[in-house]
Structure 1
Amino acid sequence: MQAATARRYGPAESLRIEDLPVPVPGPGEILIRVEASSVTTADWRLRASAFPGGLWLAGRMVAGLLRPRNPVLGSDVAGTVAAVGAGVTRFAAGDRVFGFIGHGGHAEYAIARADGALQRTPDSLTDAEAAALPFGAFTALAFLRDVAQVRPGQAVLIVGASGGVGAYATQIAKALGAHVIAVASGANADLLRELGADEVIDYRAEDVRRHRDRYDLVFDTVGATDWPGMRRALKRGGLFLPLNFGLRDLCHMLRAKLAGGPRMVLHVSGDTAEALADIVAMIEAGKLRPVIDSHYPLARIAEAHAHVEGRHRRGAVVIDVAEGAARAA
């Protein structure tokens, strides 16, 4: 099978397309014939060893100290179950599935835990649309619903609202009943209004740090703001919730706790089948839809990484794995 590999930490150009053996599912596992995957922020950070804010060593301990422990990246996949391992009853060969598998998705075949963050793909979604969902939608749902516990009528500022997480955060905040203020470039204003934003702020024309006592929640999906700059923009009981954080943010969180007033919380989201089922329910209810920036074949995955690393995408960057493999054949 063809797979994109990162055998060393480095720039996007260090990625290679290799022929690897098709993996065999073990007990409790399924083999997915991957139709589509996506390149997420986590993928380029793992490939480049670009762990934020003083967490380089911790990141390397998890990802591989000298070289990537898992050379085939790709956490978000959609495709068809090709085979099942012993003891698997949740899925059967031929089922269309999508979800979060951790790594291995940038290949024609991938292994996943049958009890992991997977669901059957709704008939209303193509494989590319399904692959565009997990990372961004999982993260937005966990941060907004579970951590911030957004309530109807709250003023929610989403920074980076058109990005891979922000495009889903905008929709989910609206579905939770919030008054959504989206921060992005002015070129994305129409898209954000389509996704449910009540207001759109062009970050090039307006500095949101100048606002006072306006927001119940600031959800920064791209690391463009920080606690010292945003605390005065929050209401007294407000919350600053950064997606990306480093050691300095731990100090900010402690200072916020000691000072009283607006709060700051640091969180790392998990991925479960139950959360993915909630995402599917939102899609079927018309409250959430995939947002795709662009498509790339597997052979051009280095370009896809560079695009995501540039941090100016509108939604997900999808890898059409099966299409590229068919052309190669």
Structure 2
Amino acid sequence: MKAIVQNGYGSSDVLELRDVETPEPGSGEVLIAVRAAALDAGVWHLMSGKPYLLRLMGYGFRAPNVRVRGREVAGRVEAVGAGVTGLRPGDEVFGICEGSFAEYATASQDKLALKPAGLPLEQAAALSISGLTALQALRDTGRVRPGQRVLVIGAAGGVGTFAVQLAKAYGAHVTGVCSTAKTELVRSLGADETIDYTREDFTERDVSYDLVLDTAGNRPLSRLRRVLTPRGTLVIIGGEGGGRWIGGMGRVLWAALLNPFVRQSLKPFMASELKADLDVLKQHVEDGTLTPAIQRTCPLDGAAEAIDQLHRGEARGKILILP
């Protein structure tokens, strides 16, 4: 089968379209004929091996342990391994796996859900990691409530486009921060207001928010706290910039250290890959409160350029890779 493979860390030049063996599903796994994969911010980090802390966390010190890139997936079940219940060949599924930039991939049955009714299978690939991140950040960590004022920083990104829609579904008043070219998209997703960060520094506004979601931002905590209400909550989703060793994690660690000493809640966040929450996303799509925002699709041999585009901050919503 064809797959995007890397044998070492580096720029997108390390990615190659190659022929590799089709994987076999193990116990509790299914084999998926991939219809589409989607990009998330983690793909660049796994490709580059930065920050170096990532390598120490078990992803591979000198080279990635998993050679095929991609984790968000949608496709058709081709075969099932021992012990699989609830899924069978022919089912259309979406979820999380290792190595989705390929014609076939294996995934644990615990990280897959049936495709939402009425949603094209290709678009379902965009739901999993970014959708789970937005859902859990709002519902569990941010504890969003109806009537709250919510600020989504990076509202036009993969996580941000889902966060805007879900915050509206939970009854919040939503303001999205994005660049000039992306304001129309963010408004179309239901944002009550947008702030163009290229023209205005939102931290200088005389407006306070009950909940701020910072999706892979790089603004200092002191600036973000200025726009929080006295008891407001800041949820830090990832982080960019910083040094080669810990990258944006420095800001995350500082938030955790500072949190016990301030009235505001400063909460680092990491998503959990839960099948139950994939089913929640499925329900939101089916009831019309959530729609993946797709910027474009590209073939497997366009994956490297798409990853570069995402890392430059040029993506609007999700980019899909079609084998």
Same fold (TM over 0.5): yes
User: How many Å separate the matches in 2 of 1:58 and 1:170?
Assistant: 29
Mapped pair 1:208 → 2:202: yes
**1:300 Cα deviation after fit:** 1.6
Query: Which residue is 1:104 aligned to?
Result: 99
String of CA shifts for 1:161-186, please: whole Å, max 9, x gaps: 00011010110111111110100012
> Contact (CA 8 Å) 2:233, 2:264: kept in 1 or not?
yes
Q: Which of 86, 101, 105 is matched with 1:90 structurally? A: 86
Displacement of 1:293 in angstroms is 1.2
> How many angstroms apart in 2 are the aligned matches of 1:135 and 1:128?
15
The amino acid that maps onto 1:204 is T
Query: Are residues 1:253 and 2:248 paired?
Result: no
CA displacement at 1:267 relative to structure 2 = 1.7
Correspondences of 1:1-329 after superposition (within 5 Å): 1-51=1-51, 56-101=52-97, 103-114=98-109, 116-212=110-206, 214-245=208-239, 246-258=249-261, 260-321=262-323
Indicate if the aligned counterparts of 1:212 and 1:232 stay in contact, CA closer than 8 A: no
Q: Matched residues in 2 for 1:226 and 1:278: separation?
A: 33
User: What is the identity percentage for the equivalent residue pairs of Structure 1 and Structure 2?
Assistant: 39
Moved more, 235-244 or 184-193: 184-193
User: Cα distance 1:242–1:193, how it changes in 2: closer, same or farther (>3 A)?
Assistant: same
Counterpart of 2:101 in 1: which secondary structure?
coil
Report if aligned partners of 2:255, 2:267 keep a CA contact under 8 Å in 1: no
The CA RMSD measured in Å over matched residues stands at 1.3
Matched letter for residue 281 of structure 1: Q
* Residues 147-171 of structure 1: per-residue CA shift (max 9 Å, x gap): 1110011111100000011010110
> Is this contact kept in 2: 1:227–1:240, CA < 8 A?
no
**1:202 aligned partner, one-letter code:** D
Map Cα deviations across residues 183-209 of structure 1 (whole Å, 9 max, x no partner). Answer: 001222221111110000000111011
Deviations 1:28-66 (A, max 9, x none): 111001011012110111101123xxxx23544321001
Q: Distance in 2 between matches of 1:280 and 1:182?
A: 24
Structure 2 residue ranges without an equivalent (≥5): 240-248
CA contact 1:131–1:318 (8 Å) conserved in 2: yes
CA contact (8 A) 2:174 2:192 kept: yes
Which stretch shows the higher mean deviation, 151-160 or 216-225?
A: 216-225
Q: State the shift of 1:87 in Å.
A: 2.0
Shift of 1:117: 1.9
Structure 1, unpaired ranges of 5+: 322-329
Tell me by how many angstroms 1:212 deviates.
4.4
User: Residue 33 of structure 2 contacts residue 75 of structure 2 at CA under 8 Å; is this kept in 1?
Assistant: yes
Native 8 Å contact 2:8 2:64 kept in 1? yes
Range with greater deviation from structure 2 (193-202 or 118-127): 118-127
Q: For residues 52-105 of structure 1, what are the alpha-carbon distances to aligned partners after superposition, in whole Å with 9 as ceiling and x for unaligned?
A: xxxx2354432100100101111111111111112222111111111112x111
| Alpha-carbon displacement from aligned partner over 1:1-45 (angstroms, at most 9, x marks no partner) | 011011110101210011111111122111001011012110111
C-alpha distance in 1, partners of 2:53/2:260? 27
Question: Is the Cα–Cα contact under 8 Å of residues 78 and 90 in structure 2 kept in the other structure?
Answer: yes
Q: Which runs of 4+ in 1 moved over 6 A?
A: none
Q: Distance in 1 between matches of 2:178 and 2:260?
A: 29
| Aligned residue identity for 1:67 | A
